[in-house]
Structure 1
Amino acid sequence: MRAFVLSCFMLLVAAPATAKEQPPDLTPVHLGVGGQAVIYNLPLTVALEQGYFRDEGLDVKVIDFTGGGKAAQALVADAVQVVSGAYEHTLRLQARGQALQAFVLASESPQLAMGISTRTLANYSSIADLRGKTIGISAPGSSTQMLANRVLAQGGLSTEDVAFATVGTGATAVQAMLSGKIHALVNAEPLISLLEQQQAIRLIADARTPAGTAALFGGPMPANTLYAKSTYIQNNPQTVQALTNAMLKALTWLHDATDAEVADLVPTPYLMGDAELYRQAFRNIQPSLSVNGRFPAEGARNALQALQSFDPAMAQRQINLQATWTNQFVDQATQP
């Protein structure tokens, strides 16, 4: 009898410990992205492949769109809760009455480049030669269109002087350039390196590095971020903190990673059949990756000025820059 009672007591003592050891329910997050395979979204891919989101108690389900503009639209429509995409969308959508806020910065440069076709614009000499031509972008309202607009404005052209074609960020964009459907293209890595390798494009603007970004925008340009509706951030601070923690782990890993380690980590289709090409593409953009996830106030001002330089609607709006970004969660993650 004594042995039975002792056995029951041990079971009762052990029960709470067993329950405590059970993994907690993972918090679901629907995250939109415009072209998950492009290197622009590499920090997100690293966080997923390394299990950093799961380590933070999150179940992140990625919904891939053709471009950043589409992902932003999905956020406004509540089809996703968070977006991995360009900071500028928080500015554009505030001008339309939507309160969005970016809470961790992944890259300090747009990681985009603009090239002209060596086939259809072989005699290109200046931006003026783009008048009446078609420029390929990933999607309307995306950062690729923003960069194209910036280049046009610097060359004295407006968006009315050209046509834009939506070509996405993958094989469709390559085919559009090689077939002559478009005369110029703004896109991300590794697609830019692929077209350069094939001598299909000649770059006329390069914002893949901080130096190239400063030449085009006058200084740092916050680019890839995680952003969400301000109400979501206010109502789900623990989830946002967990997302931030995971992305900072990914940025730390990328800061120390070799190009070979990156190529080995990403899903095979991302390599576009050429691991060495992908490695080169990563080397091209690695200097633009944020080392601490923090937003520079100067960068936010540069982003707004860039938009206002070619978008009359933005120029006429009063934008509260401070409301579009926060370092609160990065600061919390890095506290000793």
Structure 2
Amino acid sequence: MIRLPRLNLFSIAIAFASAVTVSPASADDAQTISIMVGGISKFIYLPVKLADQLGYFKDEKLQVELLSQPSGVDAENELLAGAVQAVAGSYDHTIDLQSKGKEAKSIATFLQVPGEVEVVSKWSPMKNMADAKGKTLGVTGLGSSTDFLTRYIALKSGVTSQQYSTLPVGADNSFIAAIQQRRIDAGMTTEPTVSRLLEKGDASVLVDMRTVEGTMKALGGIYPFTGLYVDAHWLLSHQPQAAGLARAISRTMAYIHSHSAEEIADRMPKDYYGGNKPLYVQALKSTMSMYTPDGKMPTGGPENVLNVLSTINPAIRSKQIDLNKTYTNEFIAATKAP
């Protein structure tokens, strides 16, 4: 990927400032857009894979390549290194990055709640997060959003991060293995992993953030979670492509809310089912409300995310964060009929 000098980027920004609409990318702009996903089979990232399966990126004349890393923080690092052009990851990373002097901007939002669940192993004596002292808690990766949220809900229960151990165990099968091998007492993961653990009886739910009600209880407000974010400099010089990506996601959100869980599951790769399609469909039905209706950032969401991160991270608390630089709804156009 070629990066333009800052002076030229500024000129491009001025040129685009007066534009009201952004036209679709043309066939001449056929450079592949690589999107790194922090665990592509997770429900929290389902919209980006579903958009690809439905052909919505192709409808926007975009050549999109989906890649996967086990953790959102790994995906973020790939973006910063210039190895990919976009990340399907957690919105809170854009705030964290700004506190470190880097800029990334969310252009479409998948979830209005985290969709994350703190599960506790059946072999652990933990009954609630206040029991986390001296225990080992699993997260996808150190510095990941599951790490952020774990620290926050533990702190709310009076337990600081110095009072428990954090172990990066990834997601899906590696997370399940960490539970079964008793390497963690509890951990944060998503669907369909949660349902697989519950069905086998290997774990139970400790904190549930798959619904608005559960999220309000755990985090004190709405918490926009995963979405599509890009490097701010790339965005300035690739607005037609960014607009195409956002439109494809917005159209996918409309599809999700106008089709059944069975129909959505039928569109997904069969290896995502974990060998149990009925369980996959059941888990999807229970989490449909976590998806945004149109891909727009929920009102008041960024403010609550900043509040949560500021509570656990002194570096963010000491910075003047400009939330307007962390997301935009400008590329979300009226959705087409699914």
Q: Distance in 1 between matches of 2:83 and 2:32?
A: 13
Query: Which one-letter code corresponds to 2:295 in the other structure?
Result: G
Q: Distance in 2 between matches of 1:112 and 1:98?
A: 26
Aligned length: 310
Contact kept? 2:33, 2:64, Cα under 8 Å: yes
- Cα RMSD after superposing both structures: 1.5
Q: Distance in 2 between matches of 1:126 and 1:239?
A: 46
Judging by fraction of residues, say which structure has more helix: 1
Aligned equivalent of 1:259 = 261
Which residue among 284, 288, 291 is the counterpart of 2:290? 288
Aligned equivalent of 1:323 = 325
TM-score under structure 2 length normalisation = 0.89
Following TM superposition, by how much is the alpha carbon of 1:24 offset from its aligned partner in structure 2, in angstroms? 3.0
Contact kept? 1:27, 1:57, Cα under 8 Å: no
DSSP-derived class of the 2:331 partner = helix
Aligned equivalent of 2:181 = 179
Which residue among 88, 91, 94 is the counterpart of 1:87? 91
DSSP-derived class of the 1:85 partner = strand
Query: Which one-letter code corresponds to 1:52 in the other structure?
Result: Y
Following TM superposition, by how much is the alpha carbon of 1:311 offset from its aligned partner in structure 2, in angstroms? 1.4
Q: Distance in 1 between matches of 2:319 and 2:135?
A: 30
Q: Distance in 2 between matches of 1:299 and 1:106?
A: 13
TM-score under structure 1 length normalisation = 0.89
Q: Distance in 2 between matches of 1:297 and 1:263?
A: 30
Following TM superposition, by how much is the alpha carbon of 1:217 offset from its aligned partner in structure 2, in angstroms? 1.5
Q: Distance in 1 between matches of 2:121 and 2:224?
A: 28
Encode CA deviations 1:6-63: one digit per residue, 9 max, x unaligned: xxxxxxxxxxxxxxxxx93534101111100111111011101111101111111112
Which residue among 168, 171, 186 is the counterpart of 1:169? 171
Contact kept? 2:114, 2:226, Cα under 8 Å: yes
Specify every segment of 5 or more residues in structure 2 that has no aligned partner in the other structure, as ranges.
1-25
Q: Distance in 2 between matches of 1:126 and 1:187?
A: 16
Following TM superposition, by how much is the alpha carbon of 1:333 offset from its aligned partner in structure 2, in angstroms? 4.4
Aligned equivalent of 1:243 = 245
Residues 175-324 of structure 1 mapped to structure 2, 5 A cutoff = 175-324=177-326
Specify every segment of 5 or more residues in structure 1 that has no aligned partner in the other structure, as ranges.
1-22
Aligned equivalent of 2:136 = 134
Following TM superposition, by how much is the alpha carbon of 1:125 offset from its aligned partner in structure 2, in angstroms? 3.2
DSSP-derived class of the 2:27 partner = coil
What is the percentage of aligned positions where both structures have the same residue? 30
Which residue among 16, 32, 57 is the counterpart of 2:36? 32
Following TM superposition, by how much is the alpha carbon of 1:248 offset from its aligned partner in structure 2, in angstroms? 1.0
Encode CA deviations 1:133-190: one digit per residue, 9 max, x unaligned: 1111111222211221121011111111111111111211101101111100100100
Runs of 4+ in 1 over 6 A off after TM superposition: none
Following TM superposition, by how much is the alpha carbon of 1:334 offset from its aligned partner in structure 2, in angstroms? 5.4
